[in-house]
């Protein structure tokens, strides 16, 4: 099992550019989560999907952020246009069922370090 | 709504010393509680979890945690710390939504 795969590992871009982060969850997992980690705010849940359907996007900071999950093996988080305050580490995580319900845990990818200049 | 507080931003211990990382949660009913560890440049990895039953939970890498309902706490402990334990540690709680809320994390520094 390759685990949750995120790409790219590092992304450096200029303000105003579009940024797309990618995630491949563990096969068979039906929940996918996008988190953002910063020194100021810690680990924040941005959005999560169940069976490819977005369930709660209340954590998405603003309309510049969008996320899609076109199939069970792929998700994207897009920022357009990007701003310096978007600089953070973005994590994707997947789980088999709801955490806590049946004992499932979150499996995290290694994250994407985004720097917006 | 559920919440988690990790009161210590940094903890420094000497190798071989015992460790306790604090976690306090807020949730009206019985919570599900987790500790995760994040090594530099990596995602979070589950150390242990509590759902019900025995309030002392054993995890990987020699860690344990104790659920104390009266204190709304779920502190992480290890009797003897190794240099490789240096990392960021996150406590998390799930409530009715079953979606975990994470604490701000505690950075563990291990001195030789």
Which chain B residues have a beta carbon less than 8 Å from that of A45?
99, 101
| Dihedral-angle region of residue B72 (phi above 0 means left; psi in -120 to 50 means alpha; beta otherwise) | left
What mean pLDDT do residues A68-75 have?
96
Work out the mean pLDDT of chain B and round it to a whole number: 92
Of residues A102 and A56, more confidently modeled: A56
- Residue A98, pLDDT > 70, answer no
For residue A33, whether the previous peptide bond is cis, meaning omega lies within 30 degrees of 0, is no
Dihedral sign for Cα B16, B49, A41, B6, please: negative
First to last CA, chain B: 41
Distances in Å between the Cα of A94 and the Cα atoms of A62, A68, B16, B57, B96 are: 23, 14, 35, 24, 19
- Residue A97, pLDDT > 90, answer no
Contact B99 A99 (CB under 8 A): yes
Contact B100 A111 (CB under 8 A): no
> How close B56 comes to chain A (CA, Å)?
17
What mean pLDDT do residues A60-79 have?
95
Tell me, yes or no, if B40 comes closer than 8 A to chain A by beta carbon.
Answer: no
pLDDT attached to residue A1 = 64
pLDDT attached to residue A52 = 94
State the DSSP code for A38.
E
Which chain B residues have a beta carbon less than 8 Å from that of A88?
none
Tell me, yes or no, if A88 comes closer than 8 A to chain B by beta carbon.
Answer: no
In terms of C-beta density within 10 A (0-12 exposed, 13-18 middle, 19 or more buried), how is residue B70 classed? Answer: exposed
Q: What is the pLDDT of residues B19-52, one digit of tens each?
A: 999 999 998 787 889 999 999 888 899 999 998 8
What mean pLDDT do residues B60-69 have?
95
With CA atoms as reference, the chain B residue closest to A32 would be B99
B64's CB contacts (< 8 A; 6+ apart) are B48, B56, B57, B58, B76, B77, B78
Which chain B residues have a beta carbon less than 8 Å from that of A58?
none
CB A33 within 8 A of CB A6: no
Torsion angle defined by CA atoms of residues A2, A38, A45 and A91, in that order, rounded to the nearest 10 degrees: -10
Contact A42 B102 (CB under 8 A): yes
CB B52 within 8 A of CB B30: yes
Facing A100 at nearest CB: one of B36, B43, B98: B98
Tell me, yes or no, if B42 comes closer than 8 A to chain A by beta carbon.
Answer: yes
């Amino acid at each position: 099992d390759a685990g949750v795969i995120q790409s790219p590992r590092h992304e450096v871009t200029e303000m105003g550019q579009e940024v797309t982060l990618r995630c491949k969850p563990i096969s068979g997992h039906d929940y996918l989560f996008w988190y953002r980690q910063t020194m100021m705010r810690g680990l924040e849940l941005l959005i999560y999907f169940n069976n490819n359907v977005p369930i709660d996007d209340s954590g998405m900071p603003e309309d510049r952020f969008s996320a899609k999950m076109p199939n069970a093996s792929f998700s994207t988080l897009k920022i357009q246009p990007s701003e310096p305050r978007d600089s953070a580490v973005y994590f994707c995580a997947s789980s088999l069922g709801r955490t806590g319900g049946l004992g499932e845990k979150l499996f995290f990818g290694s994250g994407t370090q985004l720097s917006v200049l | 709504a559920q919440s988690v507080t990790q009161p210590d931003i940094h903890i420094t211990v000497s190798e071989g010393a015992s460790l306790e990382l604090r976690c306090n949660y807020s949730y009206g009913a019985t919570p599900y509680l987790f500790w995760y560890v994040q090594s530099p440049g990596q995602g979070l990895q589950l150390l242990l979890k509590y759902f019900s039953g025995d309030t002392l939970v054993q995890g990987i890498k020699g860690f344990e945690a104790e659920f104390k309902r009266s204190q709304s706490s779920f502190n992480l402990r290890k009797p003897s710390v190794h240099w490789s334990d240096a990392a960021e540690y996150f406590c998390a709680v799930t409530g009715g939504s079953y979606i975990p809320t994470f604490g701000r994390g505690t950075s563990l520094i291990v001195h030789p």
